[in-house]
Amino acid sequence: SLQPLFSKSSFGFSFLASNSKLARFSLVTTAAASRRIVSPFQKKAAMSSTTSTTSRLGAVKVGDVISSDVTLMEGQADYEKPVPVKLYDLIKGKKVAIFAVPGAFTPGCSKSHLPSFITAMSDLKQKGVDMVLCVATNDAYVMEAWGRTSGGADAGIRFLSDGNAELTRAFGLAMDSDVFVRSKRYSLIADDGVITHYFSAEEQSSDTWAPNVLAAL
């Protein structure tokens, strides 16, 4: 009879038969799915030890570095094919504001969160912000339409789709819904890819609106 022995592997424990025939049964059934979720954080080799990284699905925090592995999608005019955008490449060397909403065209996002950034664009620029990005898990076509019809795109905000919830899950801010995974509401400031300010809606949504962001800069 087999005498199961336990040994650690990179994914957990495996059973090994004593007669050398391999009989592995991974205890982690989601390994393949985990490999598809890319953490947005990585440590730059040149950064000081005070700048931290987070584990996969860990909470985003000040000092984290947005990784070059995160790819979002940007819709194009006239329903042209969306183009992939490497988030780190886009924001490298820039001071950027990123705000995420649970859904495009939804009431709170359309009436409060997005308009707060539209009206604050000139003030944000005076504070040294080079670029403002809006992120949601809607598809790229919806995000393009929302940016176009809301006036956000005309104001200079870029609307990016996290349709696979890659960034959202890695930030630990995913919310299941009856339609698709949504992002929790948040805003942040990143300077050359390093998160310098983070604003959560955990207490109240207005904490993530542009006036609160401006007050912290």
Active site residues: 109
With beta carbons less than 8 A apart as the criterion, state whether 195 and 171 touch.
no
Residue 102 is classified by DSSP as S
- 98, 87, 103: which is closest to 143 by C-alpha? 103
- 124, 178, 179, 186: which is closest to 155 by C-alpha? 124
74/89 Cα distance (integer angstroms): 14
Q: Which helix (H) or strand (E) holds 188?
A: strand 186-191
Q: To which residue do tokens 């996969």 refer?
A: 56
With beta carbons less than 8 A apart as the criterion, state whether 174 and 183 touch.
yes
Question: Residue type at 137?
Answer: T
169, with CB counted inside 10 A (0-12, 13-18, 19+), is: buried
- CA distances from residue 56 to 20, 69, 165, 171 in whole angstroms, order as listed: 34, 13, 13, 8
